[in-house]
A = this chain, B = another copy of it.
Amino acid sequence: MDETADPPPLSAPATVEEFRDRLADLAERLPRRLRQCADYIAANTDRIAVSTVAELAAGADVPPSALMRFCQILGFSGFSEMQRLFREAYSPGWPDYSTRLQNLKAGEAGSPSALLGEFIEAGRLSLEALAKSVDEAALSQAVQLLSRAETIHIVGLRRAFPVSSYLAYVFEKMAVPAMLHDGVGKLDHRFALRPGDAVLAITFAPYSTETVALALDAQQRGLPVVALTDLPTSPLIRAASAVLMVQEVDFGAFRSLSATIALAMTLAVAVGSARG
């Protein structure tokens, strides 16, 4: 009979900060559906003010009633009360991307935000350049070669290592047999290359000798090699059966990887779905 007062009767968050705090606090211990709500809401807080329960629920991929329960757990009487908070706090983010970027770059030269502006711009330009310059024939051929391989050997060190490790991750997610040659212990695993396999080699100037060596070795054994590199003068080219070229825009001595990763992902996903 004494239903020991279950949840302390939370009062509704009064500010957006309070809201975020409570959300972060609660999220970990919520059951699955409610957790989905929390994540979606966290990622799309700005849409609360202009959406209906049904729209948000659809976005979070839960039924509307789950979202209602979620609002109540946060301490609101319901969705409407929560929405009121955001409608009142709402001020449109009108200054759009290009304006915002200008502001970022205009900040005191050398400040972190100015730097960020530069890197964002460099990434954007690289992506645009890639869109313009991609060689569709080479891309299709690369996909074909890799789709037919038994195991795909991925090699890319130093600056190319983030790319090769991401490729390895994506292939694993798609259950494509792949081996990442990461150079740990200076082992080169050359003899892991078996007939029927293929090599995906990635390197940019200044080129890694280990990567080039592995690619040449594979070629001599008659394995197909797909090269992901930057210039027509790359030493990788004479080892390769298919060449994908991508040039990143530098910012100072530093180079974005946006375009390279976009291209690598494309390759991985296309291969993954071709192998089906």
A interface residues (Cβ-Cβ under 8 A, vs B) = 20, 23-24, 27-28, 38-39, 42-44, 46-47, 49-51, 87, 90-98, 100-101, 104, 107, 110-113, 115-117, 119-120, 122-124, 127-128, 130-132, 134, 136, 139-140, 143, 158-159, 161-163, 165-166, 169-170, 173, 184, 205, 230-235, 237-238, 247, 252-254, 256-259, 261-263, 265-267, 269-270, 273
Contacts and interface: CB of A to CB of B under 8 A. Distances in A.
Contact of A119 (B96, B98, B112, B262): B262
A17 to B, nearest CB: 11
Contact of A23 (B117, B232, B262): B232
A42 B233 contact: yes
A230 B254 CA distance: 24
B94 A132 contact: no
Number of copies of this protein chain within its complex: 2
Q: Is the interface of A mostly helix, strand, loop or mixed?
A: helix
A232 B40 CA distance: 11
A39 B266 CA distance: 26
Contacts of A20: 232
B165 A136 contact: no
A273 B252 CA distance: 13
